[in-house]
Structures are given as C-alpha cells and as structure tokens.
Amino acid sequence: MEKLISLSLGEVMLKGDNRKTFINKIIGQVKKISKNFQDISVYRDFGKIYINCHEEDIDEVIKKVKNIFGIVYITPTWKIDRNMENFEEAVLAVAKAQAEKGYKTFKAKAKRSDKRFEIQSADLNQMIGGIVLKNTEYKVDVHNPDFYIYCDVKEHIYLYSERFKGTGGLPLGTNGRGLLLLSGGIDSPVAGYMMAKRGICVDAVHFHSYPFTSERAEEKVQKLAKILGQYTGTIRMYSCNLLNIQKAINKNCPEDEMTILSRRFMMRIAEEISKQYEYDSIITGENLGQVASQTIGGLNVTNAIPDRVVFRPLIGMDKVDIIEIAESIGTYETSIMPFEDCCSVFLPKHPKLRPTRKGVEKSESKLQVEELVKEAMSELEIITIKQED
C-alpha cells in the first residue's frame, strides 16, 4: 500500500485521436515542475495521471500541479494491488483522515474502470461501508453525506476522499503561441492567463515612455509577468519605448486622437514582433466600453492593423468578474500599485470616442509611420522572466 497523487483530466479526455498528445503535454509539464523533488515518477492508468513521490512531499507537489492547465482535480490517493490484501487498511486510512473535520456521515462510491475485476461496484460499496461502520463512529448517509470514499478499480485499486480543484482548460502549447500586450493594469494579466488556459504559450510586449514613465513602473510589469509565469512557465518580455512615437503624434496630429493613434502603433509593433519571433496571435486585455480606445469605433480602427488573430478574452466581461480572476491568480495587488504607464503620457483631456479609419489614416499621413516603427523595434529590449523553482 502506498500513498500518491491522482490527477483528473477534464476536456482533454474529449479530444479523440489527439487525446494522447494532450495528455503527454500535461505529463511533460508535471515532470518539469517536479524536477526538484527526489524519487518522483509519473504514469497513466485508465485516463488519469498518477504521481508517485515521497509522502512528505505530497502537499508541496499538489501546490505545484494546481497551476498546470488541463487538470481539473488533484487527489491524495491510496494505491493497493488488486489482490485486496491492504483493502481494509486503505479504506480506514481514507476514513480516519476526515475525523479532524468533524464529519459524521459518509457514502461509498466505487467504479470499475477495468471490468475484468471480479468484484462488482455495488459489492465494493458494501465492503467499504462494512469496514467503516465496524471500525469507526461514522454513519452511512446515501443522500447527503459529509464525505465520500471513492474506489477506482483500474490496473490497481485507488481509494481516496479529498479532491482539490485544479485550473482546468487545455495544456500549454496545444494552441500555438500568443503575444500579450501587457500593461501594468488589472486586465491584461487576466487576459494572458485566460488564453494560456486555452493552450496558448504566452509571451508579452510592454510599452513604456521612459524617462516620462519610471523604472519602478517597468519593474511592476515585470513582477506581473513573473506572477503570470507561475501558470505559463518562462515568459519572454519585449520592452518597447513608445516615447518618440508619442512625441511625433503630439506634434503632428489632433490631440483627441493621441490614445487611438498610440494604440495603432502598439498593434503595428506587436505585429512586427509576431512576424520576427513567430507568434500566431496577439492577446489584449481590452474590455468593450471601458476606455475611449475600447469603444466599437476604437476597436475597429485598431483591429485594422494586424493580419493575424487578435484575442480579446475580456471583451464582454464585467469588471467585477475580471477583478475576481485577478485576485484568484495573484496579480490584483500588484496591478493596483500606483505607478504610471505609457497611456498616461500626453493623455488628451477629451479623447475621441468615435474614431474612424479614414480619419486616423489621414492623421497618420502626417507621420513617418514605417520609420517610427523601425526605430522602436531597433531599441527593443528582450527580458527573460523565468519561473521560480
């Protein structure tokens, strides 16, 4: 009898012929985050992934795998051989682990994934119930139990009760690579997290206006990228100074178009980075109607720039819901730190709410667009933000 960790998979199990590829991605990520633990092994058994490690490491390993996309439940599990030699001992270990929670009732729930096993599920339920009733003070409640004792029969028998919720989604790397426009605000880290949860490997581009914006503002964004990296792994961040572009816009274009013209340049630079470094998509934290550049008109004008898909996972979300996600992934407290960003430089008093493509293209005709983009790209700084061990 040994204690290990069971990982239950969600929509990955619906992937048909591609299922093996998705599961192997998850196994690879489990091995990667657990490389610092001694004597650890990972294997599959009838649709679940199991981690065998030292019992004293189980809690710490669970903390690590909680952030791996594609896993819906993480479960400390007792494993025994199918000869049932340690069956009673394992059942009591599961039941007695619930004693400190003040539980009084239970229900057994057995499942034979391997139908070759000679004892049927109903008989296993009766066996578990008999063991618990004989050796503990618990009572059976088949309708509303305080806890369940699960029994999965596969190549081995697994017994467990506690289940910790995972992040779900699809494993990283199964839907290409995306470049996130990462600001210092609440929305963009959440957008990156949500698209990573759909299987996209996320890197980031951050626009600043140094020295008009401070080094501490840049450090704040790097900290956000580091927190995001707990879910996505190592992040490559492209740091781009937008100041000369903003000066040119301020000098040559209508004041009320500053925000939308700056946004179009951000999209141009993101598109150029995507071409040079092979990103399949661009990701933004835009939310419909939240600011002037995120009206329907503003989105139409900026959407005209890139020739690849732009993901806006927050577009129809309520701000309260976005904040809840930011709090749950650990970015919120950093996002609300009061440091300026490039959008606050040359901020118009009354930004244009209904820009048109024809209007902004007329304004851009007064600028050396290609030269400004080329200059910004030549000064691009690339920072590698590694996931902490």
CATH classification for the domain delimited by 2-165, as one of 3.40.50.300, 3.50.50.60, 3.40.50.720, 3.30.2130.30: 3.30.2130.30
Query: Residue 359 has what pLDDT?
Result: 93
Binding site annotation covers 4? no
Nearest alpha carbon to residue 253 among 106, 352, 387: 352
Binding site annotation covers 22? no
Query: Residue 314 has what pLDDT?
Result: 97
Binding site annotation covers 297? no
336 to 33, 224, 290: CA distances (angstroms):
29, 11, 16
Residue-wise pLDDT tens for the chain (389 aa)?
999 999 999 888 888 888 889 999 999 999 988 888 999 999 998 889 999 999 999 999 999 999 999 999 999 999 999 999 999 999 999 999 988 888 999 999 999 998 999 999 999 999 999 999 999 999 999 999 999 999 999 999 999 998 999 999 999 999 999 999 999 899 999 999 999 999 999 999 999 988 877 888 889 999 999 999 999 999 999 999 999 999 999 999 998 999 999 999 999 999 999 999 999 999 999 999 887 778 888 899 999 999 999 999 999 999 999 999 999 999 999 999 877 665 666 667 778 888 899 999 999 999 999 999 999 999 999 999 987 64
Query: Residue 353 has what pLDDT?
Result: 81
Give the count of alpha carbons within 13 A of 224, CB side only.
Answer: 35
- The pair of three-digit structure tokens given for residue 273, joined into one six-digit string: 């980075």
Per domain, the residue ranges of the chain are 2-165, 177-385
Binding site annotation covers 387? no
CATH classification for the domain delimited by 177-385, as one of 1.10.620.20, 1.20.1440.230, 3.90.1170.40, 3.40.50.620: 3.40.50.620
Binding site annotation covers 314? no
